[in-house]
Amino acid sequence: MYDISNYKIKPEPIILGIESSCDETACAVIRGRKLLSNCIISSASEQAKYGGVVPEIASRAHTEAVDEVVLRALNEAHITVRDIDAVAVTYGAGLLGALLVGLSFAKGLAYALNVPLIAVNHIRGHLAAAYLDDPSLKPPFVTLLASGGHTAVLHTKSFTHFEVLAKTLDDAAGEAFDKCARVLGLPYPGGPNIQRAAEGGKACIDFPSALVKHSQSPCFSYSGLKTAVINYCHNLSQKGEPVNAPDVAASFQKAAIDPLVDNTVKFALSLGVNTVTAGGGVIANSYLRQRLSEECRKSNLKLVLPQVKFCTDNAAMIAAEGLNKYLSGDFAPMSQNAAAQIPLGG
């Protein structure tokens, strides 16, 4: 029978993390804050044929990959299942069928080993990626979150609590990258392809900034910027004129990213917090990384910027957030369900 009522929390547990919310089937092992292995099997190239993630293809790919990715992670960590102290898994947000593959596997494993199951919010996983790069990192700090579903500046107050300082009123930054890529005819996934195109272009087109003007407190909007890029491209093609994709990409990137960087630094300075972190797929963007590094350096702020492999979806970040929940004894029941949507902060 599954019974963890007498479970004793260890200071340096071995946690196996599983991620399957979108198109990456991932498994990682940590001991305390030390990463022992980090494995990914991706269906992104399969999804690229359809211009985006097809949920049914994602679920099937997870089903085929989950055993193998877990075995790889155990082997690379040089441990066996018996060494696992807890199993952390993404329960949402994401594609329901995809989430259920990882969650069901994690439940089975936790049940068989009689160890805690930890249900991780994918976005909190992205935020915990910073702990992988700096195991000594401790809140408080200001965090820039920019992903496919969320864009916000947060005041991370403790290992388990944060306050939203500013957020997008509509689309997320990642969504805007993906839509602009589509209008420029660039393949899925859009973000990295916009970045690549922008490297050969100049930010010479005056697109509206993602910072909402005349708002009492800072907030962002990506729908106006996205529409401006779409209109700009359509107007040119209606006139039979060529679209300079590198210039559009560079101009869009600047309008999308500058306000995020500037306001993150402003918030850190105004709150008197001396550390900045970042998380989410868009944090993989080289222009964002360069600008955030420069601005933090100029303002004497310590920046903990997760490596690119910890910004895009991975299981190491799920295990890292799993540790935060483990240490506070926040375990999930075997009846834990998957959730397609979770509010920011949930």
Q: Can you give the binding site for Zn ion, defined by CB under 5 A?
A: 313
- In the list 191, 201, 224, 306, the residue contacting ligand KG4 (rule: CB under 6 A) is 191
Instruction: Residue 244: count other Cβ atoms within 10 Å of its Cβ.
Output: 18
Distance CA 111, CA 113 (A): 5
Specify the pairing of strand 275-279 against strand 302-304: parallel
Instruction: Residue 345: count other Cβ atoms within 10 Å of its Cβ.
Output: 13
- Give 118's DSSP letter: E
**Residues 46/60, Cβ–Cβ less than 8 Å:** no
Nearest to 282, CA basis, from 186, 179, 151? 151
**Residues 127/321, Cβ–Cβ less than 8 Å:** yes
Binding to ligand KG4 (CB under 6 A): which residues in 86-125?
122
Closer by beta carbon to ligand KG4, 77 or else 150: 150
Regarding 282 and contact with ligand KG4 (CB under 6 A), the answer is yes
Regarding 171 and contact with ligand KG4 (CB under 6 A), the answer is no
3-state class (DSSP) for residue 90: strand
- In the list 85, 295, 313, 321, the residue contacting ligand KG4 (rule: CB under 6 A) is 313
Distance CA 148, CA 159 (A): 23
Distance CA 152, CA 167 (A): 4
Per partner kind, with CB cut-offs from 5 to 8 A, the member of Zn ion, ligand KG4, none near residue 285 is ligand KG4
Regarding 314 and contact with ligand KG4 (CB under 6 A), the answer is no
Distance CA 252, CA 247 (A): 8
Cβ 249 to ligand KG4 shortest distance, Å = 10
Options 26-34, 46-54, 60-68, 191-199: segment touching ligand KG4 (CB under 6 A) = 191-199
Regarding 189 and contact with ligand KG4 (CB under 6 A), the answer is yes
CA 287 to chain centre: 17
**Residues 19/56, Cβ–Cβ less than 8 Å:** no
Regarding 201 and contact with ligand KG4 (CB under 6 A), the answer is no
Cβ 342 to ligand KG4 shortest distance, Å = 11
Per partner kind, with CB cut-offs from 5 to 8 A, the member of Zn ion, ligand KG4, none near residue 177 is ligand KG4
Distance CA 280, CA 299 (A): 23
Instruction: Residue 101: count other Cβ atoms within 10 Å of its Cβ.
Output: 23
- In the list 23, 178, 258, 295, the residue contacting ligand KG4 (rule: CB under 6 A) is 178
Regarding 192 and contact with ligand KG4 (CB under 6 A), the answer is yes
Binding to ligand KG4 (CB under 6 A): which residues in 237-266?
none
Cβ 334 to Zn ion shortest distance, Å = 26
Options 8-16, 145-153, 202-210, 295-303: segment touching ligand KG4 (CB under 6 A) = 145-153
Regarding 280 and contact with ligand KG4 (CB under 6 A), the answer is yes
Residues of the shown chain interacting with ligand KG4 in the complex, contacts defined by CB under 6 A: 122, 126, 147-149, 174, 177-178, 189-192, 195, 280-282, 284-285, 312-313
